[in-house]
């Protein structure tokens, strides 16, 4: 039986997991993936093999999964049944590596304590990301665990991209433009040499358009700028987050509307974006099917902002050679991709309608100045690769 690695991605109400087998040549192959969802409300455990076979699909008593930490024990118990031997290592997605971590880290009690100090930088995501780490560290102190950060890929940004126009003391205490979705951008950057070798070392914009949305400027495969900043609220409008927003609006909500901190936080993370604009849904599929003019307006606004932010990133890159669409919307919606390309026709973006309908990978028209691609992102594989590399390093056999 091959060694296996487990990748965990814990959110506010779910823990997603994927199990990889390590081949004799250190190749990683996905065996199965699943999640426990509805944690604290109506927990449900589901998993399917890489061939699509349903491995488990059952409700979990609420008493067993009232929070993320207890839900981890449910996942562990199922894994113990499903696997002949426990995984040799676990890799975790952690949203914030703060100013300290520019690369994945092997987790021990000291690193965990350090990661806990970054909770104020990502109050909604970081505590959930850390809960399974804490649970596993307590139950299996010998288990090899690695944290992979969504901020790490952006840590090579030039100082100009990292700063706000705020006093230096705030920068020193960590109020910086970190950028997020770094594991997704790393996944795309790692695939460019094979899928799009002609642009891999050039100036490329990657649009991660999912329930969270951001764009990243790559030069030579490295991130030099991102539309997300200090938190995952900045940049593009998203399913339920507004994206770029005049700070004065927040002051208005606090003063004129009398909202307290918690109410404003809930509003900005859960009630804005496509959901707030349309008054209908945060899901692009629903908006595309709707005949309500508010749905059309929300989508037009979304596309307009993607085009505007492209201009912003082109200025940072001082040029553009390629554009990549990825994540739920970017990978699956020819309509949104075509609308973005239409708005960016001045830049030399033109799609081949047939290639776009078939999701590429190359979707630009023959002879178009901007080579445009659809590339599926695989954040879990990036985490698995980092985890395996650090495991081998700890075993003294780094490849």
Find the shortest distance in angstroms from Cβ 223 to ligand AMP.
19
| Binding status of residue 276 toward ligand AMP by CB under 6 A | no
Q: Which residues pair with 54 in a beta bridge?
A: 48
Give whichever of 115 and 232 is closer to ligand AMP, judged by the CB atom.
232
Q: Which residues pair with 208 in a beta bridge?
A: 214, 326
Find the shortest distance in angstroms from Cβ 48 to ligand AMP.
16
Give whichever of 9 and 333 is closer to ligand AMP, judged by the CB atom.
333
Asked about 292 being catalytic, the answer comes back as: no
Look up residue 263 and give its two tokens: 């109410």
Find the shortest distance in angstroms from Cβ 343 to ligand AMP.
18
Give the helix/strand (H/E) hosting 109. Answer: helix 109-116
Q: Which residues contact 60 (CB under 8 A, 6 or more apart)?
A: 36, 43, 44, 45, 71, 74
Query: From residue 371, how far is each of 46, 278, 323, 330, 374 by CA, in Å?
Result: 39, 32, 6, 15, 11
Find the shortest distance in angstroms from Cβ 69 to ligand AMP.
24
Of the ranges 53-61, 87-95, 283-291, 381-389, which one interacts with ligand AMP (CB under 6 A)?
Answer: 283-291
Please report, as residue ranges, which positions from 151 to 210 form the binding site for ligand AMP (by CB under 6 A).
Answer: 210
Among candidate residues 67, 150, 246, 283, the one labeled active-site is: 150
One residue of 91, 97, 99, 239 binding ligand AMP per CB under 6 A: 239
388 phi/psi in degrees, rounded to 5: -65, -40
3-class DSSP state of 48 = strand
| Binding status of residue 290 toward ligand AMP by CB under 6 A | no
| Binding status of residue 270 toward ligand AMP by CB under 6 A | no
**Cα 262 to Cα 10: distance, rounded to the nearest angstrom:** 22
Give the helix/strand (H/E) hosting 29. Answer: strand 28-37
Give whichever of 381 and 388 is closer to ligand AMP, judged by the CB atom.
381
Find the shortest distance in angstroms from Cβ 281 to ligand AMP.
8
One residue of 222, 257, 266, 285 binding ligand AMP per CB under 6 A: 285
Please report, as residue ranges, which positions from 304 to 343 form the binding site for ligand AMP (by CB under 6 A).
Answer: 327-329, 332-333
**Cα 378 to Cα 210: distance, rounded to the nearest angstrom:** 13
Look up residue 396 and give its two tokens: 């003294």
Choose among 117, 85, 88, 91: nearest CA to 104.
91
| Binding status of residue 237 toward ligand AMP by CB under 6 A | no
Q: Which residues contact 294 (CB under 8 A, 6 or more apart)?
A: 277, 278, 279, 280
| Binding status of residue 283 toward ligand AMP by CB under 6 A | yes
Active site residues: 150
Chain positions contacting ligand AMP, by CB under 6 A: 210-211, 239, 283-285, 327-329, 332-333
């Amino acid at each position: 039986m091959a060694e296996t690695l487990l990748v965990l991605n814990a959110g506010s109400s779910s823990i997603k997991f994927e199990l990889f087998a390590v081949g004799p040549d250190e190749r990683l192959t996905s065996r199965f993936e699943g999640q426990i969802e509805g944690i604290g409300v109506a927990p449900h455990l589901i998993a399917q093999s890489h061939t699509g076979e349903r491995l488990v699909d059952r409700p979990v008593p609420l008493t067993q999964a009232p929070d993320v930490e207890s839900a981890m024990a449910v996942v562990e118990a199922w894994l113990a049944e499903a696997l002949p031997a426990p995984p040799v290592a676990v890799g975790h997605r952690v949203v914030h590596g703060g100013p300290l971590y520019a690369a994945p880290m092997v987790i021990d009690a000291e690193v965990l304590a350090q990661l806990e100090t970054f909770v104020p930088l990502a109050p909604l995501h970081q505590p959930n990301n850390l809960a399974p780490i804490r649970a596993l560290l307590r139950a299996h102190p010998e288990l090899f665990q690695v944290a992979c950060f969504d901020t790490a890929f952006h840590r090579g940004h030039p100082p100009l991209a990292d700063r706000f126009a705020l006093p230096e003391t705030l920068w020193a205490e960590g109020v910086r433009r970190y950028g997020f979705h770094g594991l997704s951008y790393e996944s795309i950057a790692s695939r460019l040499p094979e899928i799009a070798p002609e642009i891999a070392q050039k100036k490329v914009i990657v649009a991660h358009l999912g329930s969270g949305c951001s764009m990243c400027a790559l030069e030579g495969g490295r991130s030099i700028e991102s539309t997300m900043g200090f938190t995952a609220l900045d940049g593009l409008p998203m399913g339920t987050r507004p994206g770029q927003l005049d700070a004065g609006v927040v002051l208005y909500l606090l003063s004129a509307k009398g909202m307290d901190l918690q109410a404003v936080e809930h509003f900005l993370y859960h009630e804005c974006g496509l959901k707030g604009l349309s008054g209908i849904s945060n899901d692009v599929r629903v908006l595309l099917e709707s005949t309500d003019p508010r749905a059309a307006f929300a989508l037009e606004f979304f596309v307009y902002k993607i085009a505007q932010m492209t201009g912003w990133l082109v200025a940072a890159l001082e040029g553009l050679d390629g554009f990549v669409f990825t994540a739920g919307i970017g990978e699956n919606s020819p309509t949104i991709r075509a609308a973005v390309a239409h708005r960016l026709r001045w830049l030399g973006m033109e799609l081949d309608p047939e290639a776009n309908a078939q999701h590429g990978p190359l979707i630009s028209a023959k002879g178009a100045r901007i080579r445009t691609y659809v590339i599926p992102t695989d954040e879990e594989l990036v985490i698995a690769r980092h985890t395996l590399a650090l495991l081998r390093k700890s075993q003294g056999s780094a490849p």
